[in-house]
Amino acid sequence: MSDWISFYDMRHSLIYVNARHRDVHYRKIADDIRALVPKTTAAVLDYGCGEATAADVIAAACGHLTMVEAAPNVRAALSARYAGNAKISVLTPDAAAAMPAGSFDLIVLHSVAQYLSGPELDRLLAMFRKLIKQDGLLVLGDIVPPRLAAAAAAWSLLKCGAANGFFWAAVGGLLRIFVSDYLRLKKTVGLSHYEAAAMLEKLRAAGYSAQRAARNIGHNQWRMTFLAKPA
């Protein structure tokens, strides 16, 4: 995963075609996560949160939001952005792993699993099994199926752009990606893809009872979200 972290830390702006795209993207994710918060006192962990420009939306709906980001520059920007919000903490992955067992009512891993190898994801699932309360909920969002992933992502971006006023910027953004290091990394490091049945089995093996959600978190409905509870 280190290659992807380095890329995101230095080139994360490439992923979004402009600031409007970035903010629409994160606001939709925040709204979808907020809908999953079980109670106003809930302790929520957003692991691999990215820039999370709308994290205050989630924090307003829960007791405390802990955000974990591995990319140092992105994490520093998060810390600065939310320094004045007592309901938000920003941690390193190591600091999150050291938290007490049963710390969280809701854990979200959104759009991260594709950048992890199978064993890396298994280790995270085991860590989450320790950190989550027995009646808590683990949410795995943006799980990428093996077929038509790139085409679906491009189509979803264009639809989102058309609906939110940045269609032509989305077209230009796709062209920039085609000549960027993203495709080189995708070819050399690769991305992880899962059929629904395979992800359900992985969650079962990690000690969860899981089901596929009716809708994916975010704009790309070709991808999948899974809801898991400790078994």
Which residue do the tokens 């059929």 mark?
A: 195
| pLDDT value of position 160 | 82
pLDDT in tens, the chain (231 residues): 567 788 778 665 567 778 888 888 899 999 999 999 999 999 999 999 999 999 999 999 999 999 999 999 999 999 999 999 999 999 999 999 999 999 999 999 999 999 999 999 999 999 999 999 999 999 999 999 987 667 777 778 888 888 888 887 777 777 776 656 665 666 666 689 999 999 999 999 999 999 999 999 999 999 999 999 999
SS (H, E, C) 169-192: HHHHHHHHHHCCHHHHHHHHCCCC
| pLDDT value of position 184 | 62
* Nearest alpha carbon to residue 70 among 2, 123, 122: 2
> Which residues is 44 bridged to in the sheet?
65, 106
- Is residue 123 a contact partner of residue 200, using CB atoms and an 8 Å limit? no
| pLDDT value of position 30 | 98
Structure tokens at 23: 């903010």
| pLDDT value of position 197 | 98
* Nearest alpha carbon to residue 115 among 170, 80, 147, 71: 71
Boundaries of every domain in the chain: 2-230
Pick the CATH number of 2-230 from 3.40.190.10, 3.20.20.140, 3.40.50.150, 3.50.50.60: 3.40.50.150
| pLDDT value of position 186 | 64
Q: Tell me how far the alpha carbon of residue 204 is from its chain's centroid.
A: 21
| pLDDT value of position 185 | 62
Write phi, then psi, for 47 (nearest 5 degrees): -100, 120
| pLDDT value of position 168 | 79
| pLDDT value of position 17 | 75
